[in-house]
Amino acid sequence: MKKFKKVIIKHPTLRNLRNNLRKIIDIWELTEEKKLSDKMQSLDWKSPQWRELRDTQNQLRRLLNLSICVCDVCQAQDKDMVFDPFVPKWMCVDCHEVLIPKYKDPRVQAEIHAEADDVSLEEFKATMQKNFGIKEEKSKRD
Ligand SMILES: [Zn+2]
């Protein structure tokens, strides 16, 4: 059975730490995007190298948006997040509260299941592991 996974941090110091780590990751992503843009400027936009760099740029942004660092709905980076396995994406608790009543409508549920992209989460995990050596750790409480 698919379950929502909420990550709530109540301690103010830990919240601050989490928010600052998210900012660092966002700044790192923007810096990488800028480096790729700089390389692209010296290339012909019709060349395969240019397209490859653009695809890498898009993938970086896409991976950040798939991560727990950013709410997929409102783009907030400073809120507690919920992983919604039906979408499947991370979103902030506020956006999730708004969406939950809609899930009870069977027509919406059918639409969500039709659009669900289980590949995106697996792709995200595989890319994070391959490119950055980051592995998903199983929680001992699960
Ligand atoms: Zn949100």
- More reliable by pLDDT, 95 or 139: 95
Q: Say how many Å lie between the CA of residue 142 and the centre of ligand 1.
A: 25
Task: Give me the pLDDT at residue 3, please.
Answer: 76
Q: Say how many Å lie between the CA of residue 96 and the centre of ligand 1.
A: 7
Q: Say how many Å lie between the CA of residue 92 and the centre of ligand 1.
A: 4
| Tokens linked to 115 | 């659009």
Q: Say how many Å lie between the CA of residue 95 and the centre of ligand 1.
A: 4
Q: Say how many Å lie between the CA of residue 62 and the centre of ligand 1.
A: 16
Q: Say how many Å lie between the CA of residue 77 and the centre of ligand 1.
A: 8
pLDDT band for position 68 (cuts 50, 70, 90) = very high
pTM assigned to the model: 0.67
Q: How far apart are CA 1 and CA 65, in angstroms?
A: 25
Distances (CA, A) of 43 to 35, 54, 56, 98, 119: 13, 11, 15, 45, 32
Q: Which helix (H) or strand (E) holds 74?
A: none
Q: Say how many Å lie between the CA of residue 80 and the centre of ligand 1.
A: 9
Q: Say how many Å lie between the CA of residue 78 and the centre of ligand 1.
A: 10
Between 39-43, 73-77, 134-138, the lowest mean confidence (pLDDT) is in 134-138
Contact 43, 49 (CB under 8 A): yes
Task: Quick: pLDDT tens for 77-124.
Answer: 999 999 988 778 899 999 988 877 776 667 666 665 555 555 555 665
Residue extents of the structural domains in the chain: 5-132
DSSP, collapsed to helix, strand or coil, labels residue 92 as strand
